[in-house]
Structure 1
Amino acid sequence: MYSLNGIGISTAAEDAYLALVEGGPMAPTELASTLRVTSHAISTAVGELTDLGLVEPDGAQLVARPPRSALDAVAESRTKELAALRDGIEELSRFWRDHHAEGATYIEIARTQAARSALVRRLYDEATEQLRCLTIGYTGRSAEPNMMAPGCWEALTRGVKASVVYGAHVLRDKPAREAVQTSVDLGERARVFPDVPLNMGICDDRFALVCPPTSDWGRRHHILVQRSDLLEALIGVFESFWQFAVPLPAAVETADDFGRASTDETRQLLTYLSGGLTDESIARELGVSERTVARRITRLQQMLGARTRFQLGVQASRRGWL
């Protein structure tokens, strides 16, 4: 069906215009009866359409006019308004640079909670193709079961491809794992790396949001990086982490049977190991002794020819065991 909302026409006015186009000239009372709305609603809608030149009175009736000429004039007016807005942005940007000479023009810093929250929401709302993120992981301050960043669910459900590298913290905290699993179930590609240094999100190839870690919670800030050589460098940083990170599985599955340990336990062991958890932490999660964990890891290393535990995670991933 047609929609005129995108050019600023209300739903009521849109319904009135389409009814007049389809049904021909009508008196306001007849139009109100056709649409099953009040006379006041029709009066408001007709006033809106008349101002735009889409409807004109013809005696006691209302007549729809062809949209091209009327809306071309609207488009021309909007184009001029947009040009004026862009000019205003440039003027304000120059004024800002004059008083902040030390700052790069492609960088903005958000220091207030409202500004930080708006940037995070913008990251997800404006994504049309892909999101690439590094995240240290959910902290105890904010971790809640199945918690997702505002706008993340909407981005994933509208088909945005999300690729996220999580720090090992995400595997040490049950609410955090549940939040990640929710995202994975919606199509997110998730990987884990032992030491992710900061939180960063890249919206398509248009801008990045960098959130440096800080010990002073009250003085934290977010950095918005627009198109620039720095943005290209940040994309390269993400790709490097993505290459070396180990995938988190989308479901409980494994390709081989590793003996007495169940396939589910083996998958969990490899996942925890690739995230940098200690033997003690892994043993606690699996409900076995540290000695049992060390023995299973040694056996897996021998099977895959891995000299280090991180290599074991990489090799297992390449074989499809993660």
Structure 2
Amino acid sequence: MQPLGLSGAAEAVYRTLLRRPGLGTAALQQLVQGLDEPLEAMLEALLRRGLVRRGGEAMNGWQATAPEVAIELLLMERQAELNEARRVLPELQADLARDSSATSLGDVQIVPADPNEQLHAYLKLFEQAQHSILSFVRPPFLLAAPEPMEAARDAARKRGVRIRSILAPEVMAWDGWHAAAAQSIASGDDLRVLDGLPFKLLLVDGNAGMLPLHADDPQGPVLRLGNTAVLQSLVLLFEQHWAEAVPALEAQTSPAETGADGDAAMQELVTVLAAGANDKTAAHALGISDRTLQRRMAALIALLRAKSRFQAGWLAARLFDR
């Protein structure tokens, strides 16, 4: 009867009462030896479970419940326990998704498309950072919780964590972002700007990170990675983009600030891009390095408050045609 939740000692008491119904406690104690708890307590427990009842020896004795009834009672108890386990299963799964480390899931975890779940995972990565935080920053932005996010960044800075971020040019064109970038740099962060970031990305200490599960669905689930080959490849990708990117505030330099030479340089850039030249061809045609081309592109996009390179080229062409 142990599979049904009845201990060996309790089963011995029950079987003895089946064979000798009506025994009193003292007589029963003589027949059942080696109990791991007081017999009185065991009988009271069996009584509460409906497996024995009082009767015999002038009502001071004990009798066992019929086996078919006893087994049914034990089965009902077990079923109730299983039902309770099933009831809490969704809660346990939610706790696992929220709090389990990536390592416990084979270094890969999918965070559902829920802003609160993703914010929790984002903040947890910041909290565990010890050396470095790397990120691609590009729209759309779903985590509308700037205060806890900035608090997490500030706490990381105080721990001596180096924060490097590459921003999409259109981000720098939005209201308030120039001031935010200046404040971030003043706090010790390194910010650069580069067009064509493939997706949003967060990397921590070179051994954990987050990015969209589907590049074409930035509002969907998020993939959280542990120390995998994929994550190491993403670290290399970040470093390659970092080498090509330009300092964030330098990228805000506009043609109006650079005078006639700046206007001429921008017009040349627009002309080459309008001809359909790719970056390599454009840099060669203008006689400038890839880095300088990226800086001028970022400045052009920021100046025109464009949302993309295509829109910047279209707006610039109209501007310089006037």
Class of the TM-score when normalised by the shorter of the 2 chains: 0.3 to 0.5
- More helix as a share of residues: 2
Normalised by the length of structure 2, the TM-score is: 0.46
Normalised by the length of structure 1, the TM-score is: 0.46
